[in-house]
Amino acid sequence: MKQSEFDVVVVGGGHAGCDAAHAAARAGARTALVTLKMEGIGVMSCNPAIGGLGKGHLVREIDALDGVMGRVADLAGIQFRLLNRRKGPAVQGPRAQADRAVYRAEMLREMTSCPGLQVLTGEVTDFIMQGDRVVGIVLADGSEVHARAVVLTTGTFLRGLIHIGDVSYSGGRMGDNAANKLGERMESFGLPLGRLKTGTPPRLNGKTINWDVLEDQPGDDEPVLFSFLSKGVNLRQVACGITHTNTRTHEIIRENLDRSAMYGGHIDGVGPRYCPSIEDKVVRFADKESHQVFLEPEGLGDDTVYPNGISTSLPEDVQHDYVRSMKGLEQVEILQPGYAIEYDYVDPRALDMRLSLRDVPGLYLAGQINGTTGYEEAAAQGLVAGLNAAKEALGEDPVIFSRTDSYIGVMIDDLTTRGVSEPYRMFTSRAEYRLSLRADNADQRLTPKGIEVGLVGDSRRAAFEAKMARIGAGRAILDNTTVTPKQLNTAGIRVGEDGKQRTLYQVLAFPETSVVDLVGLAPDLGDLDPETQEQLRRDALYATYIQRQQNDAQALQKDEARGIPQNFDYEHLDGLSNELKSKLLRIRPSNLAQAGRIEGMTPAALALILSRINRAQKEKSA
């Protein structure tokens, strides 16, 4: 029997697995990435796109911590669009169509070229245990891989079940086997498991689409990339097409509703509301006569087209009919039918903020297994789980993210304290400190933390420090130049004669004011490069709001810093109601801030918990 030994083993080569393995290796752990097959690394199971609103923020944060998703997406991008370009910078999200094959190839290159990271192939069927602790994995061929910590990223593979019409069969993704043995093994841990569902549309042959009659959706003229290190696009840029469903399409779907897996009652899992199947759209918004469908090319060397907006679990013949009822698709050929897939997930409230299972030491989970959806959500969790698995393996302190410093922190806090009722997707509205958690300042927020915990390489560090020096120089000019309303009006910036002296940084917060407008008042500003000028403007725009939120944010950070030990004795805390006790025992909040957000929590109960923590600390230090 073969045996090998690592610090960290990551199971799964999807988006969560890749960023987990890479983060673990960057953090200094000897890491193995185990995948069913090499070609499975970096596969996009659903649409060929990365980023978007909230999601683009996550990718920037991953990049700020020197993760891989952003730079791979930049290399594979064939169309870049910055969403919400005309709204404030806080809610602008970069998005890109990606060439699937290039994405896979570049991701594989990242994995195989990363020092300390080794890729293994095989199916994981069991864990190696030492007491209640996971200390490695067993592959189908019986070989053992020992590790101090294991990260599991099973995506939709854990007891995956594919549905097309009334046909259903076991599978992890079209063309791949499900991980059934591992599913049974997970169940034996007594973890709270549930079923979720997601769906994907049929794939079309682009050569059979009549593009001439269709509307185009081009990318931005000036592409905004994901990585703070990328300088420009790598591939030829293309446009997407747009078509629409019509009353005939809806008729076909309505007539065949009972043949849909979803409506035929074959599916128990809960699907995401923001990613409804075309059946759902037709039923729930019956008075809408048409829905938009984006025709997204899957790559430059690939004729496959992904019709975004018509995911389905209808039988193949119905898919054929309704697709051909749409303009431009009259002669279209379906290359692969759309399908729904159900899979196991673990209630994420069983995890702590490192994404480690509280009851199974040594085992970390990331991605869809935690009830989320989306490549970006998966990769961000992978980074946190991989990093902390490495920290545990190396005997170093865990790295925790906060709602006040990142979308990553918002997501992990949401998952571990609130659980999920449908696949969890990031939205900017989930972040209460949205104005400070911007895509444009992800590096300012997180790169210093990444440097501190050993996650950021030398080249990014150097680039970041140089950028901060430029911003610091500009900021100094803005802060140190004070002007009167008269000076401003003379410079063409309209302001009331209120006699108020303002710093140029304050003036820059006026809407529609740019650094260029201020050069007359402080000529040195003209020496700054355009990107630095723009970043200063974005920072200034929100300064007063961020100031206003500071009290709240500080109070939250303070509570987040008050860790509650996992074995905290709620049973013997006098003055807690039984109801609260049982809630606290179930959720086991990681810190005081999480405890405070539990429904029904009272100020008295929080005070009791806090005083017990204080006492325990005193006893410890005494």
Partner 1 sequence: MDTIFALASAPGRAGVSVIRISGPGAFPALTRFGLTAPAPRAAALRLLRDGDEVLDQALLLAFAGPASFTGEDAVELHLHGSPAIVASTLRILGEVDGLRMAEPGEFTRRALENSKMDLAQVEGLADLIDSETEAQRRQAQRVFSGKLGEVVQGWRKDLIRAAALLEAVIDFADEEVPVDVRPEVTELLDRVSVSLEAQAKGAEVAERVRQGFEVAILGAPNAGKSTLLNFLAGREAAITSNVAGTTRDVIEVRMDLRGLPVTLLDTAGLRETEDEVEAIGIARARERAELSDLRIYLLEPGEISPRIELRPEDIVLRGKADESGDSAGISGVTGQGVDALIARLSTYFSDRTSLVATATRERHRLAILRALGDLSQAREMLANPVYTEDLIAEELRSAIRALDSLVGIVDVENLLDEIFSSFCIGK
The DSSP output letter for 563 is: B
Least gap, CB of 146 to partner 1 (angstroms): 42
Q: Using CB under 8 A, which of the segments 145-153, 203-211, 349-357, 550-558 binds partner 1?
A: 550-558
Nearer to partner 1, 6 or 226 (CB): 226
Q: How far is the CB of 574 from partner 1 (least distance, A)?
A: 6
Residue 443 to residue 439: CA distance in whole angstroms: 9
Report the residue number, 354 or 438, with the smaller CB distance to partner 1: 438
Site pattern 349..368 for partner 1 (x: CB under 8 A) = --------------------
Site string for partner 1, 431-470 (x = CB under 8 A): -x-xx-----------------------------------
Cα dist from 480 to 292, 307, 475, 476, whole Å: 52, 54, 8, 6
283 binds partner 1 (CB under 8 A): no
Residue 563 in the binding site for partner 1 (CB under 8 A): no
Q: Which of 288, 486, 500, 586 binds partner 1 (CB under 8 A)?
A: 288
Contact between 545 and partner 1 (CB under 8 A)? yes
Binding of residue 412 to partner 1 (CB under 8 A): no
Interaction of residue 581 with partner 1, rule CB under 8 A: no
Q: Which stretch binds partner 1 (CB under 8 A): 183-191, 221-229, 430-438, 467-475?
A: 430-438
Query: For tokens 């303002």, what's the residue?
Result: 502
> What string of H, E and C letters represents the secondary structure of 245-293?
CCHHHHHHHHHCHHHCCCCCCCCCCECCCCCCCHHHHHHHCCCCCCCEE
DSSP string across 323-377: HHTSTT-TT--EEE--EEEEEEEE-GGGB-TTSBBSSSTTEEE-SGGGTB-SHHH
- For partner 1, which is the closer residue by CB, 473 or 601? 601
Q: Compare residues 49 and 135 and give the one whose CB is closer to partner 1.
A: 49
The C-alpha atoms of residue 375 and residue 226 are separated, in whole angstroms, by 14
By the rule CB under 8 A, 603 interacts with partner 1: yes
Judged by CB under 8 A, does residue 606 bind partner 1? yes
- The candidate with the shortest Cα–Cα distance to 226, out of 115, 103, 309, is 103
Strand-pair partners of 294? 242, 308
Decide: is 281 part of the binding site for partner 1 (CB under 8 A): yes
Secondary structure of 146-187 as H, E, C letters: EEEEEEECCCCCECCEEEECCEEEECCECCECCEHHHHHHHH
Q: Does residue 614 bind partner 1 (CB under 8 A)?
A: yes
Please choose, from the candidates 273, 271, 268, 206, the residue with its C-alpha nearest in 3D space to the C-alpha of residue 241.
206
Answer for which of 575, 582, 585, 586 binds partner 1 (CB under 8 A) is 575
Contacts to partner 1 from residues 97-156, by CB under 8 A: none
State which residue, 288 or 500, has the beta carbon closest to partner 1: 288
Kindly state whether residue 291 participates in binding partner 1, applying the rule CB under 8 A: yes
Q: Quote the CA–CA distance of 461 and 144 in Å, as a whole number.
A: 37
Q: If binding is defined by CB under 8 A, does position 476 make contact with partner 1?
A: no
Tokens found for residue 495: 């302001």
Please provide the distance, in angstroms rounded to a whole number, between the alpha carbons at the two ends of the chain: 50
Q: Which of residues 330-349 bind partner 1 (CB under 8 A)?
A: none
CB of 572 to partner 1, least distance (A): 12
Burial (0-12, 13-18, 19+ Cβ within 10 Å), 86: exposed
Beta carbon of residue 22, minimum distance to partner 1 (angstroms, whole number): 29
The angle subtended at Cα 199 by Cα 196 and Cα 202, nearest 5°, is: 165
Hey, which residues between 29 and 88 contact partner 1 (CB under 8 A)? 47, 52-54, 83-84, 86-88
Element (DSSP H or E) covering residue 144: strand 144-152
SS3 116: coil
Residue 349 and residue 355: Cα distance in Å, rounded? 10
Q: How far is it, in rounded angstroms, from Cα 577 to Cα 162?
A: 45
Decide if residue 554 touches partner 1 (CB under 8 A). Answer: yes
User: How far is the C-alpha of 307 from the C-alpha of 48, rounded, in Å?
Assistant: 10
Rounded Cα distance, 596 and 556, in Å: 10
Least distance between partner 1 and beta carbon 26 (Å): 32
Q: How far is the CB of 210 from partner 1 (least distance, A)?
A: 22
Contacts of 316 (CB under 8 A, 6+ apart): 164, 165, 334, 337
619 in contact with partner 1 (CB under 8 A): no
Shortest reach from residue 137's CB to partner 1, in Å: 36
Return the residue of 276, 297, 371, 423 that touches partner 1, per CB under 8 A: 276
Q: Does 428 bind partner 1 (CB under 8 A)?
A: yes
Query: How many residues at the interface with partner 1, by CB under 8 A?
Result: 54
Torsion of CA 563, 569, 574, 579, to 10 degrees: 90
- Furthest-apart CA atoms within the chain: distance in Å: 84
- Contact between 285 and partner 1 by CB under 8 A: the answer reads yes
What is the Cα Rg of the chain in Å?
26
Closer CB to partner 1, 173 or 281, in the complex: 281
State yes or no: residue 477 binds partner 1 (CB under 8 A): no
Q: Which is nearer to partner 1, 210 or 217 (CB)?
A: 217
Q: Which residues from 304-323 bind partner 1, rule CB under 8 A? A: 308-309
The reply to whether 574 sits near partner 1 by the rule CB under 8 A is: yes
Where on the chain is the footprint of partner 1 (CB under 8 A)? 47, 52-54, 83-84, 86-88, 90-91, 95, 272-276, 281, 284-285, 288, 291-292, 294, 308-309, 427-430, 432, 434-435, 511-512, 545, 548, 551, 554, 558, 574-575, 602-608, 610-612, 614-615
